[in-house]
Chains A and B, each alone.
Chain A
Amino acid sequence: MTAIDVTPKGAAAPEHIPYEPPRQIRWTSTGLLLAFLAVFPLLFPNPAVTSIAVITMIFLVAAIGWNIFSGYSGYISIGHAAYYGIGQYTVALLALHAKVPAGWDTFGLLPVAGLVSAVAAVPIGFVVLRVRRHTFIILTVAVMFILQLLAFNLVSWTNGSGGLEMSFPTWQGSYFNEPFYYVGLVAAIVACAASWWVRRSKYGLGLLSIRDDEDRARGLGINATRTKLIAYAISAFFVGVAGGLYAPFIGSVYPQFGFDPTFDLAIAVLVFVGGIGTLSGPVIGALLLIPLQQYFYLQFGNANLYLIAYGVLFILILRLLPAGIAPSVTQLWRRALIARRRAAARSPAVPALAGQSPAGQSPAGQSPAAQSPAGGLPGAPPATAAVPHAGGDEVAR
């Protein structure tokens, strides 16, 4: 909804309709969101609420990480629980064997959990990235199950199905959740920064071109194997960090909850709902869905109903918003902008839709320029230049 309010600013540019809301709006909304997340536990100190908030942060980190690889490269992994599990076991085992005291010191293990996941991702990625599309998806699941089997079978390390217990930190009581929450928030910010960087760097452009046409990208000099592998390792890092935060929060690690197939579905759902391959998509998805899901869980107190509700929700969203929330909202905003400009161009005397926003009058004055922008284009046929202004919806075929 914030996106639609910004129309006047966007329309100030005479000849092109921007694809994303202007910079000020993006920075302001990001700032507001950050401020809200920073004070959230102070506003709602109820432990039941803050524990949902912690889980939300954990999934947020994982979703952003997952999107860096699967979203940008188009290779959908349904096996990232592999790294969630590796992160959990790394923290639990290090805490046990290196005698890391429970509490703040455990958080020091988070980067280690991420690194171990990323390092493990290199040989795994080398194998699974040799294949594409469906075979890739299935191989990722297979790898996840292999690791789960290993966790069950390597009893001397993992204690098999008995799982590993972690001691809880000393800050027991009503402020138990807050440190986890803030560490999670920091991790999420770091993940976001990484995702933002990948999206705008030359490297990330290579990744996105692989998503669109891998063979063509190769033919333009992109080393697709290395590009994919790096993104795979980066995303494993963040999912590993998420796991490393989850284990001490829950206080135990089990093969079936570390290498958890429903985690894979959950992450994919979040990102698809928010908008896959976008910067804000995983954030929107995680902040909307995880609290909702946790609420379902507490409300029904029954795993079956939760599974059913989640499955139905996923299918509905795939059906209704196949592109996800973030792209759909942007598209609506853009359409409104185009419609307004067209209306303004048709009857310049009447400030069209002025009631909706007083500032709408200023683009109305500029609309003649918007209608004939071909001025600076020697050799360009008028038809070419007119396309974007005729209406973005017809352009997309």
Chain B
Amino acid sequence: MSILQVSDVRKSYGGIQALAGCTMTFEEGAINGLIGPNGSGKTTLFNVISGYETADAGRVTLRGKDITNARADQVFALGLGRTFQITRIFPRLTVLENLHVATQRRGFVGQLRSWKSGAERSRAMEVLDFVGLTPLAEEPAGGLSYGQQKLLEFAFITVAKPSVMLLDEPAGGVNPTLLRGLADRIRSLNNEGITFVIVEHDMEFVMGLCDRVLVMHQGCALTAGAPAEVRANPDVLEAYLGSDMREAG
């Protein structure tokens, strides 16, 4: 069952073609890994799917519903949340406030109420506890280290309970001792039915975690399959070696 489908999406900046007719299908309930050498268009694809950028052509559907070039808030309201490679948190809000931004309440009265009470807060504290940021709850988020910001961004998306989460290099800069915890967290959220799409350069992390791995190369889908298959695929190795040796490891 596919939940998120990208068909023939194109996007170029001036003469540079970031997405050259990219077609992909992401399985519902799976942890999908999305890999590819630098510049293969992974982040651009995320931007187009999540509504931060518009595609020049093509179609994006979420659960069969056309979300091509929908606004970012509309995409989010349909249950698709994402994180950024270079974190985008709210630096002048406290860590705890950051966690409450994504859980907008519907209705006038909900908006009037303080965010400081209720079940919402206990859930936020629980998530915060998991990522180990509880003692920093009252700190301005801008003061956190890069790895902590990554975790915070992951946390506030989690609190909003989207049905699809796009994670752009979630492991980057995160303390190695926390990496396993992060993977466990992703797995347990996945067991609750959340679909993941994860862009990551840490191959060990991707191969260990994902059910299915999709490979991008030069703005197109190259191949897809189980981690072991993809690892054994000579095309994938060539794509990496051909463009950037360092990423191959």
A interface residues, Cβ below 8 angstroms from B: 15-16, 18-19, 197, 200-203, 205-206, 208-209, 211-213, 215-224, 277, 373-374, 376-377, 379-381, 383-385, 387-388, 392, 395-397
Contact with A along B135-171 (1 / 0, CB 8 A): 1111110111100100000001000100000000000
Report which of A16, A216, A395, A396 forms a contact with B88, defined as CB distance below 8 A: A216
Given A216-B90, A380-B132; 9 other pairs, CB 8 A cutoff: A16-B135, A16-B138, A18-B138, A200-B114, A202-B111, A208-B93, A213-B89, A215-B52, A377-B135
- Flag if A220 contacts B105 (CB, 8 Å): no
- Which stretch from B13-21, B173-181, B198-206, B226-234 is at the chain A interface? B173-181
Contact with A along B119-146 (1 / 0, CB 8 A): 0000000000110111111111011110
- Flag if A395 contacts B139 (CB, 8 Å): yes
Report which of B73, B97, B135 forms a contact with A222, defined as CB distance below 8 A: B73
- Flag if B105 contacts A202 (CB, 8 Å): yes
Asked if B61 is at the interface of the complex by the 8 Å CB criterion, the answer is no
Asked if B64 is at the interface of the complex by the 8 Å CB criterion, the answer is no
- Flag if A377 contacts B72 (CB, 8 Å): no
Report which of A201, A377, A384 forms a contact with B112, defined as CB distance below 8 A: A201
Contact with A along B79-117 (1 / 0, CB 8 A): 001100000111111100100111011000011111110
- Flag if B148 contacts A206 (CB, 8 Å): no
Report which of A197, A220, A388, A392 forms a contact with B135, defined as CB distance below 8 A: A388
Across-interface contacts of A381 in B (CB, < 8 A)? 132, 175, 177-178
- Flag if B175 contacts A218 (CB, 8 Å): no
- Flag if A202 contacts B93 (CB, 8 Å): no
Provide a sorted-by-A list of 20 A–B residue pairs whose CB atoms are within 8 angstroms.
Answer: A200-B116, A202-B110, A202-B111, A202-B115, A203-B111, A211-B92, A217-B101, A219-B50, A219-B75, A219-B76, A221-B73, A221-B76, A221-B160, A223-B73, A383-B175, A384-B132, A385-B132, A388-B135, A392-B143, A395-B144
Across-interface contacts of A376 in B (CB, < 8 A)? 134
Q: Which residue of A lies closest to B90 (CB)?
A: A212
Asked if B77 is at the interface of the complex by the 8 Å CB criterion, the answer is yes
